[in-house]
């Protein structure tokens, strides 16, 4: 699986808060759980949309969405 995210970078620039943090968190948990359990998915990468609720980092540190991905990854 190549990079995935709730929004593309261009969509996030146009509408950075289209999804609530709760919606983004639910997306992350559902998709990572599915990918971790599917034998066809060897590995995957998160995509940083850089703005809004789909952004992973600010000032080099994980923000809410980045923390959710890290938590979901650790639930393997």
Mean pLDDT by 10 residues, the chain (76 residues): 88 95 95 93 90 92 93 82
- 66 burial via Cβ count (<10 Å: 0-12, 13-18, 19+): middle
Q: Which pLDDT belongs to residue 18?
A: 96
């Amino acid at each position: 699986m190549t990079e995935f995210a709730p929004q593309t970078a261009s969509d996030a620039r146009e509408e950075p808060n289209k999804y609530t943090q709760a919606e983004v968190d639910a997306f992350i948990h559902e998709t990572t759980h599915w990918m971790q359990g599917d034998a066809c998915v060897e590995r995957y990468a998160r995509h940083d949309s850089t703005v809004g609720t789909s952004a992973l980092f600010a000032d080099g540190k994980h923000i809410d969405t980045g923390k959710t991905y890290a938590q979901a990854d650790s639930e393997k």
